[in-house]
A and B are shown apart, each in its own frame.
Chain A
Amino acid sequence: MIANLAQLAAEETEQNPLLPAGPELLVGTIAFAIVFFFFWKKLLPNINKVLEERRAAIEGGIEEAEAMKVEAQSVLEQYKAQLAEARHEAARLRQEAQEQGAALIAEMRAEGQRQREEIIAAGHAQIEADRKAAAAALRQDVGRLATELAGKLVGESLEDHARQSRVIDRFLDELEEKAEAAR
Chain B
Amino acid sequence: MSADQTQLAFDWSCRILSDNGCGFPAPGLHSFLFKPLATVGGFEFNKVMLLALITTLLVVAFFWAAFGKAKVVPGKLQMIGEAGYDFVRRSIVYETLGKREGEKWVPLMVSLFFFIWIMNIWSVIPLAQFPVSSVIAFPAVLAAIVWLVWVGLTFKRHGFVGFFKNITGYDKSLGWVLPLVMVIEFFSNLIVRPFTHAVRLFANMFAGHLMLVMFTVASWYLLNSWLIPAAGVSFVMTMFMIVFELFVQAVQAYVFVLLACSYIQGALAEHH
Of B3, B49, B108, the most chain A CB neighbours within 10 A belong to B49
- B30 interface residue (CB < 8 Å to A): yes
Q: Report the separation of the CA atoms of residues A21 and B36 in the bound assembly, to the nearest whole angstrom.
A: 13
CA distance A148 to B185 in the complex (A): 170
Name the interface residues of B2-51: CB closer than 8 Å to any CB of A: 3, 29-30, 32-33, 43-45, 48-49
Residues A29 and B141 in contact, CB atoms below 8 Å apart:
yes
Residues of chain A from 124 to 158 with CB closer than 8 A to chain B in the complex:
none
A32 to chain B: closest residue by CB = B115
Interface size on B, residues (CB 8 A): 48
Q: Which of B87-137 contact A (CB under 8 A)?
A: 106-108, 110-112, 114-115, 135-137
Give which listed residue, A23, A35, A44, contacts B106 with CB less than 8 A: A44
Partner of B70, one of A12, A21, A29, A50: A50
At the interface with chain A, which of B60-68, B169-177, B211-219, B224-232?
Answer: B60-68
Q: Are A36 and B107 in contact (CB-based, < 8 A)?
A: yes
Q: Determine the distance from Cα of A53 to Cα of B33 in the docked complex, in whole angstroms.
A: 49
Asked if A24 contacts B135 (CB within 8 A), the reply is yes
Q: A28-B142, A54-B72 are in contact. List 6 more A-B contacts (CB 8 A).
A: A15-B29, A17-B135, A24-B138, A35-B59, A39-B110, A47-B82
- Cβ–Cβ < 8 Å partners of A24 in chain B: 48-49, 52, 135, 137-138
Cβ-based interface call for B254 (8 A): no
Chain A residue nearest to B28 in the complex (CB): A15
Q: List 20 A-B contacts (CB under 8 A).
A: A15-B3, A18-B199, A20-B136, A23-B43, A24-B137, A27-B49, A27-B53, A27-B137, A32-B115, A32-B142, A35-B60, A35-B114, A36-B108, A39-B107, A42-B64, A44-B106, A44-B110, A46-B68, A47-B85, A50-B70
Q: In this assembly, does B145 line the interface, its C-beta being within 8 Å of a C-beta of chain A?
A: yes
Q: Do the beta carbons of A47 and B137 come within 8 Å of each other?
A: no
Q: A2 at interface (Cβ–Cβ under 8 A)?
A: no
Q: Which residue in A15, A25, A44, A51 is a CB contact (below 8 Å) of B140? A: A25
Contact status of A31 and B53, CB under 8 A, knowing A18-B199, A47-B85, A50-B72: yes
Q: Is the pair A40, B111 in contact by a Cβ cutoff of 8 Å?
A: yes
What's the minimum C-beta distance from B181 to chain A, rounded to whole angstroms?
A: 28
- Among residues of A, the one whose C-beta sits closest to the C-beta of B135 is A24
A contact residues around B107 at 8 Å (CB) = 36, 39-40, 44
State which size class the interface on A falls in. 20 to 34
Q: Are B70 and A20 in contact (CB under 8 A)?
A: no
**Closest Cβ–Cβ distance, residue B99 to chain A (whole Å):** 13
Chain A, residue nearest B29 (CB): A15
Given A18-B199, A44-B106, A12 and B29 contact (CB-CB distance below 8 Å): yes
Distance, CA A23 to CA B202, complexed state (A) = 17
Please determine whether A18 and B136 come into contact, CB atoms closer than 8 angstroms.
yes
Are B56 and A34 touching (Cβ within 8 A)? Answer: yes
Chain B residues with CB under 8 A of A15: 3, 29-30, 33
User: A43, B64: Cβ atoms under 8 Å?
Assistant: yes
Q: Say yes or no: A28-B60 contact (C-beta < 8 A), given A15-B29, A47-B82, A50-B70.
A: no
- B234 proximal to A (CB < 8 A): no
